[in-house]
Structure 1
Amino acid sequence: MAEAAFGVQLRQSRQAAALSLRQLATRVGYDHSYLSQVERGQRPGSAHLAQLCDRELNTGTTLTTAYQQAQRAQPVPQPPAAAYQLQPLRHPVEQAMSADLLEAVRHGLVDSYGQARPEEEWNAVVADLAVAFTTTPPGELLPELTAHLQLLPAERSAGRSATHAVLVTELSILVALTLTALGQSRAAGRWWWTSRTSADSSGERLAMSLARGWEASGGVTGSRPLGELLTLADEAVALGIPVDDAAETSDGVVGGRSGCLAQAYAARALVLAQQGSGAAAWKAVEDLLTVTDETAGDHQTSGLFDWPAYKVHGVEGRVCAELGYPAAGYVVLERALELCPPGRLVERAELELRLARCLMVDGEVAAGLALAMRVLVELPDQWHTHYLYDEAGRVLSAVPGKELGRAAVRDYRELLGRRPYLNRSVGSGSSSAWSQG
């Protein structure tokens, strides 16, 4: 195999330089297990990897040439995207969804009537969708969310207005996050409003906390004022803290009290870190660690509203990168990657981008760029989201001014311009209080 020939050349060059696989991986900013697969011919590598290895191993253009020869020696595979376009079916979003339909569903939540589902069944639906959010590309998840939302008005007609409002809150959060993932910030803004309004009408303090906490953390990736987001996060914390005369129970809201408080503290930590308020951000991280001590759960089956350890470490890592503590960031982010299930592709990619940002902050510009580029290149397009590119953009923003002329920086900037998720249109007709991001 041509791939094996390049891998053999890479291994021989590394051994001649007296470097271990892990040492070379550290220098070029690639995962050592990935390099191992390249050397064994199980992965093709890339031109960028070959160039980096040539530089670190002092092999001139030997590896770059070997890689180019390996590519010429094998037939050009059809790109997955092109193969997909040959199929007669359109993308699920285009086939089953539009923002206009979503908007009609949103207004219909209080106008239509039908057969109600048992409360336990609705709770199971929300839990399943929360897991699907972490394991399903957003373009495929949106039609399923819409189908369930069309059935929700029946809950109000069945006389369960509080239950109805909490369900609308939870599903609206999922819709808002999914639309944001697809770059539809205007439509998402309408659904954030719906989640807060529904939560407030339910009388459930935890539902109110959940809506505000998620809106605050979701807003960090957009252009909303940080002061506005901090107000939402502070309200989320206050609403999540037990009140003696409060009538609500934690069982009525997905994630329970600990999950709502965890989201509130996480949102507060992220906003404060972005504002540069180090002491307050670390205090919020400490609060997050306190409320998640007993909520680790099963990493494999955790959903959006759960707080397994890798998710907590991910927040810690982002705060470390934001505040300029790369050494601490390495520790918590490596631990997060150890714990994060292999199937959580986007979550793992976002964690690696935070690690890349720590490398940049630490002055390891080449390694940081190499890691970030690998993440964006290797992750299949259907998993590319607004959140992913927000993390990737923060890597670019950490490039020191004197390094901006690097060819790798220009290549990375060009890669950031792709944003394939913007091509997954969900229609038009949505508007919001803030402009499209």
Structure 2
Amino acid sequence: MTETSTQTSTQTSTFGTHLRQSRQAAGLSLRQLAARVGYDHSYLSQVERGQRPGSADLARLCDRELGTGDQLTVTFERRHSRTERPGQTPGVADPLELAWQGLVAGAGVAEQPTALDDFRSIPPAALLPELVSELQLLQARGVDEVHAVELSILIAETLAGLGERHSARRWWWAAQAAAAGDTALSALVYAREAITGLAERRPLPPLLELADRALVRQSPSAVAHAARALVLAELGRSEETHQALQVLVGIGDEALVTAARPTDWIPYQLHWAEGRVCARLGYGVPGCVLLERARELCPERWVGERARLDLGLAECLAVAGEVAAGVATALRVLVELPDEWHDLWVHDAADRVLRVVPESDRGAVELRRLLSPKAGVWAVGRAGGEGRGSVR
């Protein structure tokens, strides 16, 4: 094939097709490429089949691993810069797109590929454009209140994880506006924002107010109870934290298994919250048990979530007196975790390990060295961030 024909093929093929051809030419399986670029293999499969759009970050990483120069990046950017079809009147909706939306709407929303299907397997920078695209499709089909709130929450959490705190605040407001009139949805927004605010190191009293608002329902959700317990633990209000922890432990896995919405909590998240509260109360061994249980319930492909759980376990190990094991676990996580999964959540969890380890510990010195250059916009430090303090 001549150079000209190769260029023509690259220009006319879709990003997914080009990615599959490049991967096969390199002799790699989906799982092998997924492991190299830090994405879930099922997500890559969906991109190759055209069920998901992919992202510029994925294209760049695949170019690097497959030795394709910038061909995949160029293909992705060219395809996603086409906002109008040839001959289409500027500013007028694409009839083909409208026809597709009508067809899938008639077939039922459940049959449509969605960014919410397995969002925990997608790195934050790649997830954000998918969530925005999903929201735009939702708006085109007509308002679905519950789905709009779910997407707004996920966008806010993802922006916070990427260090875009100001933008995240706007999306929390949007989520609350979309939930107006629905007490259950409003409580969910308040609870998730309170938990996110802890990672952002926001002042604690306002976060407690958010958590308390989440409990106004007659039957508060597990995430609402978790939010209050976590904030109380950070405030150092031991007696109230103990009471809140007892409520969490009493909820149990069964109450979460039937959660209907992606933004509702599932069992491993409940155990993560219980373990973190135990760590703040000084109960290292029970915290380790709870975090180990959380790890058992969290799928391997949820890379970022598992990193947070491992770092939570490292904190509990250190609290239990196993400082060397805790630091070693934290070091392993930070060294092995692909760069695209390093976000606010991970660095907050790593910083919590540093809080309970003596500053003179050799492992802590190395952990701090690894964390500092990557922290960047996360700005997590032993001082605890702006507005930190106890209200007893």
| TM-score normalised by structure 2 residue count | 0.66
Deviates more, 1:385-394 or 1:326-335: 326-335
**Cα distance, 1:421 vs structure 2:** 8.4
Question: Where do 1:241-320 residues align within 5 Å?
Answer: 241=218, 261-297=221-257, 304-320=262-278
Change (3 A) 1:327 1:228: same
1:142 aligns with 2:100: no
Question: Where do 1:354-365 residues align within 5 Å?
Answer: 354-365=312-323
Change (3 A) 1:84 1:181: farther
**Cα distance, 1:360 vs structure 2:** 1.9
Q: What is the aligned partner in structure 1 of residue 330 from structure 2? A: 372
* In structure 1, C-alpha distance between the alignment counterparts of 2:285 and 2:120, rounded to whole Å: 28
- Conserved 8 A contact 1:310-1:339: yes
Letter in 2 for 1:177: E
Change (3 A) 1:85 1:321: farther
Change (3 A) 1:153 1:303: closer
**Cα distance, 1:80 vs structure 2:** 9.2
**Cα distance, 1:326 vs structure 2:** 0.4
Deviations 1:353-382 (Å, cap 9, x if unpaired)? 111111222333222211100011112222
Letter in 2 for 1:279: E
- Conserved 8 A contact 1:133-1:141: yes
Q: What is the aligned partner in structure 1 of residue 288 from structure 2? A: 330
* In structure 2, C-alpha distance between the alignment counterparts of 1:183 and 1:96, rounded to whole Å: 28
Q: What is the aligned partner in structure 1 of residue 183 from structure 2? A: 205
Change (3 A) 1:125 1:363: farther
1:408 aligns with 2:366: no
* Aligned counterpart for 2:205 among listed residues 215, 223, 227: 227
- Conserved 8 A contact 1:165-1:198: yes
Change (3 A) 1:197 1:306: closer
Change (3 A) 1:287 1:181: same
**Unaligned stretches of 5+ residues in structure 1:** 1-78, 98-113, 157-162, 243-259, 424-433
Q: What is the aligned partner in structure 2 of residue 38 from structure 1? A: none
- Conserved 8 A contact 1:353-1:375: yes
Change (3 A) 1:95 1:287: farther
Letter in 1 for 2:119: F
Change (3 A) 1:96 1:134: farther
Change (3 A) 1:290 1:223: same
* In structure 2, C-alpha distance between the alignment counterparts of 1:187 and 1:95, rounded to whole Å: 27
* In structure 2, C-alpha distance between the alignment counterparts of 1:212 and 1:119, rounded to whole Å: 34
1:194 aligns with 2:174: yes
* In structure 2, C-alpha distance between the alignment counterparts of 1:417 and 1:119, rounded to whole Å: 51
Change (3 A) 1:197 1:222: same
**Cα distance, 1:407 vs structure 2:** 3.4
Deviations 1:274-331 (Å, cap 9, x if unpaired)? 1112232233233334445533439xx9975243332221111100111111021122
- Conserved 8 A contact 1:385-1:421: no
Deviations 1:124-177 (Å, cap 9, x if unpaired)? 779x53442211111111111111222333455xxxxxx544332211101011
Q: What is the aligned partner in structure 1 of residue 164 from structure 2? A: 184
- Conserved 8 A contact 2:276-2:312: yes
**Cα distance, 1:223 vs structure 2:** 2.5
Q: Please report the RMSD computed on the Cα atoms of aligned residues, expressed in angstroms.
A: 3.6
**Unaligned stretches of 5+ residues in structure 2:** 1-60, 81-97, 379-385, 388-392
Q: What is the aligned partner in structure 2 of residue 245 from structure 1? A: none
- Conserved 8 A contact 1:214-1:267: yes
Deviations 1:392-434 (Å, cap 9, x if unpaired)? 011011123xxx23332222111112337869xxxxxxxxxx9
* In structure 1, C-alpha distance between the alignment counterparts of 2:136 and 2:257, rounded to whole Å: 31
Q: What is the aligned partner in structure 2 of residue 152 from structure 1? A: 138
* In structure 1, C-alpha distance between the alignment counterparts of 2:162 and 2:76, rounded to whole Å: 10
Change (3 A) 1:293 1:361: closer
Change (3 A) 1:123 1:285: farther
Q: What is the aligned partner in structure 2 of residue 396 from structure 1? A: 354
Letter in 2 for 1:371: T
* In structure 2, C-alpha distance between the alignment counterparts of 1:180 and 1:145, rounded to whole Å: 14
1:382 aligns with 2:368: no
Letter in 1 for 2:254: E
Letter in 2 for 1:413: R
Change (3 A) 1:192 1:397: same
Change (3 A) 1:393 1:276: same
1:341 aligns with 2:285: no
| TM-score normalised by structure 1 residue count | 0.60
- Conserved 8 A contact 1:130-1:174: no
1:167 aligns with 2:147: yes
For this pair of structures, how many residues does the alignment match?
Answer: 299
- Conserved 8 A contact 1:269-1:284: yes
SS state at 2:151 partner: helix
Change (3 A) 1:214 1:394: same
